[in-house]
């Protein structure tokens, strides 16, 4: 469960995925960190391959999966 750094993103600092728990963890440049639960691996792979991680998060993850600030 290694972090994927996103220096090109204006909003997201890095993210990682726990395949066994199906948890996507996103760390924002403002210091906030959130876990998104029950995220299928295909959604994680989509984010990993997206040109804009922030847009992908906004359109495909936020509002669709349970989350908690950690």
How many CB atoms neighbour CB 28 within 10 A?
A: 16
pTM of the model: 0.95
DSSP state of 12: E
How far apart, in whole angstroms, are the C-alpha atoms of residue 6 and residue 68?
21
**For the segment 21-59, what is each residue's pLDDT rounded down to a tens digit?**
999 999 999 999 999 999 999 999 999 999 999 999 999
Q: Which residues, listed in sequence order, are joined to residue 12 by a DSSP beta bridge?
A: 28
Structure tokens at 56: 């992908």
């Amino acid at each position: 469960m290694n972090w994927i750094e996103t220096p090109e993103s204006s909003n997201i600092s890095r993210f990682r995925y726990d395949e066994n728990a199906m948890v996507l963890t996103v760390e924002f440049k403002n210091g906030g960190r959130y876990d998104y639960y029950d995220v299928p691996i295909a959604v994680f792979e989509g984010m990993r391959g997206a040109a804009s991680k922030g847009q992908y998060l906004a359109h495909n993850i936020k509002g669709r999966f349970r989350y908690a600030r950690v």
